[in-house]
Structure formats: C-alpha cells, structure tokens
Amino acid sequence: MTDHDAVDVIRTKRDGGALSADQIDWVINAYTRGGVAEEQMAALAMAIVLRGMTEAEVARWTRAMIASGERMDFSSLTRPTVDKHSTGGVGDKITLPLAPLVAVFDVAVPQLSGRGLGHTGGTLDKLEAIPGWRAALSNDEMLAQLEGVGAVICQAGSGLAPADRKLYALRDVTGTVESIPLIASSIMSKKIAEGTGALVLDVKVGSGAFMDELEQARQLARTMVTLGTEAGVRTTALLTDMSTPLGLTAGNALEVRESVEVLAGGGPADVVELTLALARDMLDAAGRTDADPAAALADGRAMDVWRAMIAAQDGDPDAPLPVAQHTEQLLAPADGVVVQLDARAVGVAAWRLGAGRARKEDPVQAAAGVELHAKPGALVRAGEPLMTLHTDTPERFAHAMAALDGAVELAPDEDRPAGGGIVLERVGV
C-alpha cells in the first residue's frame, strides 16, 4: 500500500474528487492504527457528508472497514445463516420475537446487536432487563448456541470492523452522521464481517426514524442491498413506517413484556405484522420457502426457542421483569379520534424518563419508558389516559411531559384516518 498524506486525501474529497482505492485503503488502515488524527478523519467525514461518494468509493470504503478486523465464519454450522438489521426506531422490539421465530425452522440467526443512543432504544439494553441475561459471548459460545438453539442475540466482539467502531464514535460528536455513504458502509461492514449468508434490512421511514423522507430511505436501502449482494450476501430490504411508535411500549422491560406477548400468540397487530413480514423474507433468503411463521407464533414453538435462547445466556425467562417505582399519566384534553402520534416525541420522552442514554457510557433504567393506551384511529374521551409514563426517578416526569407537548393530535370522529400497512416497499437486487 502506497504511503499517502491525510491532507491530500481530505483535499481530494473537499474539492469534489473521487478517492482512489489506494487512498481509501490507506486512510482507513492508518486511522484504525492511529496514524491519521481524529481531527483529520473528522474533516474527511465532513467532506464526504458535503460532497458524497460514488458507488465504487462506497464499496471500497466498506471493504476497507471489513479488512480492518476479523471476519466470523459460520461454515461449521449445519443450518443456513440469516440476519436482520433495523436502522432503528421507537418501540422497535422486533428482533426479540423475530430471532427465535426464524430459528424454529432450522435456520441459524446470529443477531449481533447494539445499545441505544438518543431516542432510539438498543436491543441489548432491552434484554438486559431480564434478570441474569448477559450480552457478551465468546465466538465459541455463539457458535455452540447457534447450532444448539438456533438463535443468539449478543454484542459484537471488538474485533469486528474496528475502523467502524472508531469512526462511528467520531461521526456522532462531529455532526457527520447524516450521510448515506457513511451510514451504509457502517452498517454493511459489520454485517458482512459477521459472516451471515443472507441479510434482511428493515429501513425505517418517518418521524421516529433516522430517515424521515421515503426517497432518502429508498436510496439508503438500495445502497446497502448493492453492497451486500456484491459481497456475496443475499440481501433484501423492507422500507417500513416509523411515523408512529411500534406497538404500545417504548422502554426496556416494557418492550420485553410486549415481545413475550407476541411470542405467546398475542401482542399488538403492527408488531406481529412486521415480525411476520421480516420472518418470511428471512426464511425465503435461507431457502425455507415453505415455512409458516404465523403458525409457529400461534402454536408456541417460537416461545420455546425464546426460552431456550434466554436461558442459554444465563437469563431467567420466568423471572418477573422490573417495574417502575413511579408512574404518571398523560390524559386526553378532549373527545376525538387520535389522528397522529409522533414517534420521535415518544422516543424522546422515554429517553428522558431514563430508558435511553445521552452518552454511550450512561446507565439506563430497565423499568423506565412510555406505555401507549391509544394509537392513530382510536376514539378517546376527555380525561382518558393516552399514555402512562414509567420511571424510578419522578423528577424526570416534567421534562418527559414537555417532550410530549403536541405529540398527540385529536380530530372529530369523521376524520378517522385510514389504516395503512406497516411495510411500505420492498427493495431487492
């Protein structure tokens, strides 16, 4: 690899030029090793945000980030592997029922998940509400669980795409998160390094999502599907609605409780709808085209795998989940139909109650969050509860209530909104 100068690489992108493969390989390698300073990579990231990247640049950038660390190998498994990645949303607990559901059909689901930052919750934070459950597994433990149980949800090891871990933290504090090339390469470098044979992407669209415009989300989905396909991973994407929270809960223990309801054959219709849509795509990608995931939810098979998965990671599936010490209700100011419920506002309220974190080292409250009693289309009467807020620290209520000011829009009954499906579009190769 030719030795380069960081300033020349920054200037090339600043002036709208395309970075060469050699420049990309060098800058990612040097940054990972500490040879490119944080302020230099911050300048390059800002140049990418402003100037963009070609498809060839994004593909090479992704490959360079994969090459910065180890790659997992699932070839020893007797089951095909398929994973799901969500771009994140409010009340998005889908991984919890989805991984055990897909595993029912002799498919291995290696779900390497993350923690929440800001208004979107993290899957690991949710599962850590279960007494005893642990997120950290060795590669050997992970392989054994995939072969024996079929599903694992755990944290990614530090060896996977270390360049991304470093760059992600930098982008978060330098205003350089909003870039489709950087988002796509961040997600796909980790997923490709993870070694899964197939991948289904859940790209959220709406106020509670990272992308609030459909065309933006479509572009991100297409970029990621192309990156995955070119790397030999069978990749598809669903664009799904995140204008209103998923299900009736936002918060860690609250969302686990709701996920268990889905696994028991109940739960909110939108959570069940999206779980089944993603399960069908994942099973199709794994070659299980005749599988019936709805039957596996109804007859308890998915619940059996859930219990085995939680127990394998030292959790107690029968233990009572934490309950908040304090609750407060947001009441309907008038009679009417709920026509809008802003997902971002609910996410911010849950975060302020203690369910999320402002910095990655902050603790979270397992029991904090927001429980919804009415969603768009519901008829409510003045004084009825719209939401219940949960926290162990009641001084947080006022700040959380402020986030919900204007979050619920009511209208006369004749203005009741037509219900739409949660899956907006499907993106394939």
> Which one of 4, 190, 191, 218 is the catalytic residue?
190
> Which one of 60, 85, 222, 396 is the catalytic residue?
85
Neighbours of 383 (CB within 10 A): 10
Radius of gyration of the chain (CA): 22
For the chain, the 3-state helix, strand and coil shares in percent, each to the nearest 5, are 45, 15, 40
Among 238, 208, 215, 220, residue whose Cα is nearest residue 178? 220
**Residue 68 bears catalytic tag:** no
> Which one of 4, 126, 165, 171 is the catalytic residue?
171
**Residue 190 bears catalytic tag:** yes
> Which one of 83, 164, 270, 281 is the catalytic residue?
164
Among 66, 116, 99, 50, residue whose Cα is nearest residue 275? 99
Among 205, 203, 257, 182, residue whose Cα is nearest residue 84? 203
Task: Tell me if 78 sits within 8 A of 197, measured CB to CB.
Answer: no
**Residue 290 bears catalytic tag:** no
Among 283, 256, 305, residue whose Cα is nearest residue 125? 256
Distance CA 324, CA 145 (A): 32
- Concatenated DSSP letters of 40-58: HHHHHHHHHHHH---HHHH
**Residue 85 bears catalytic tag:** yes
Residues 6+ apart with CB under 8 A from 64: 24, 25, 28, 29, 163
Q: Which residues are catalytic?
A: 85, 164, 171, 186, 190
